[in-house]
Amino acid sequence: MKSGNPALSKKTFNNLKSTTGEVMTIDGTVNKTAMSLAILLFAAYYTYSNAIVEYMWIGFGGGLVVAVITIFKKEWSPITVPIYAVLEGLALGGISKMYADLFEPGIVPQAISLTLGILIALLFAYKTKIIKVTENFKLGIFAATAGIGVVYLISFFMSVFGSGGLPIMNPTNASMISIGFSLFVVVIASLNLVMDFDFIEHGAKSGAPKYMEWYGAFGLLVTLIWLYLEILKLLGKLSSRK
C-alpha cells in the first residue's frame, strides 16, 4: 500500500499490536481528529486575531520537529499530536493573517469552509464506495504527490539561491498555468484524504494499539493542513485576477 502522506506509509501499522486489550477504532480516531482540529483552530484564531505573524516560523519549525518525533515514536502520539496541533495552529493563524491583508479578509473563512467541505464530501464518497481505493488509485496518487513534492523542492532551492522560486508557486501569480497547477495540487491533496481514510480503516481492522488513534488523527491533520494552504494559495491567485 502506498500513500503520499509521510505519516501514513505502508509500514505504519506493521508489528503494532495492543498489549493492553484496548485497540484502535474508527470512532476513536474521529474523536481524536476533532479534538486536534479544535486545538489547531483555537491556536490559529489567537495568532490571526492578534496579528502575530512572527509565530509563523516558530510554528512551522517546531511543528516539523514534533512531526518527525511523532513518526518515529508513535507511542508518544497522545502527547505529541496536541503539541503539533498547537504549533501548526500558531503558524496557520499567522499565514492566514498575511493572506487576509494581502488579498481580502474573506479569503480565510472561504478556505476553511472549502477544506472542511472537501473533508466531509470525500469521507462520504469513501464510506459509500463512490471512490474505491484500488492499488492503481494508490499508485496514481502516490506518483502525483511525489511529483508535486519534486516541484516544491525545486522551487525551494531556487528561492534559497536568490531566484525567488518557481513563478507558479507565487500566490499573486494569476496566470492560467499557475491557477491550473494550484487546482491540480488541491485535487491531489484532497484525494490523499481518501488514502488517509483507507489507512485508518486498515489500522482499526489490524488491531493496532489505542494510541494509534492519535497517530491516525495526526496523519489526517498533516493532509488537511496541506490542503488548506493550497486552497488559500488558489483563492489568492483567483483573487488576483479580479
Q: What is the SS3 assignment for 4?
A: coil
Alpha helices in the chain, H assignment, sequence order: 26-49, 55-72, 77-102, 107-127, 135-160, 176-205, 212-240
* Nearest alpha carbon to residue 215 among 2, 5, 7: 7
pLDDT of residue 108: 95
Asked if residue 119 has pLDDT above 90, the reply is: yes
Placement of cell 481514510 in the chain = 197
Asked if residue 11 has pLDDT above 80, the reply is: no
Asked if residue 140 has pLDDT above 80, the reply is: yes
- If pLDDT is split at 50, 70 and 90, which confidence band does 21 have? confident
Q: The whole model's pTM is what?
A: 0.90
pLDDT of residue 1: 44
* Nearest alpha carbon to residue 222 among 184, 195, 182: 195
Tens-digit pLDDT profile for residues 97-106 = 999 999 988 9
Phi, psi of 188 (to 5 degrees): -65, -40
Asked if residue 10 has pLDDT above 60, the reply is: no
Cα of first residue to Cα of last residue in the chain, in angstroms, is 43
Asked if residue 233 has pLDDT above 90, the reply is: yes
| C-alpha–C-alpha distance, residues 175 and 131, integer Å | 31
- If pLDDT is split at 50, 70 and 90, which confidence band does 14 have? low
Asked if residue 2 has pLDDT above 60, the reply is: no
pLDDT of residue 100: 95
- If pLDDT is split at 50, 70 and 90, which confidence band does 206 have? confident
pLDDT of residue 15: 59
C-alpha cell at 41: 483552530
Q: How many residues does the chain have?
A: 242
Mean of the per-residue pLDDT values for the chain?
Answer: 90
pLDDT > 70 fraction of the chain, expressed in percent and rounded? 91
Tens-digit pLDDT profile for residues 26-69 = 999 999 999 999 999 999 999 999 999 999 999 999 999 999 99
Q: Residues 176-188, buried b or exposed e (16+ Cβ, 10 A)?
A: eebbebbeebbeb
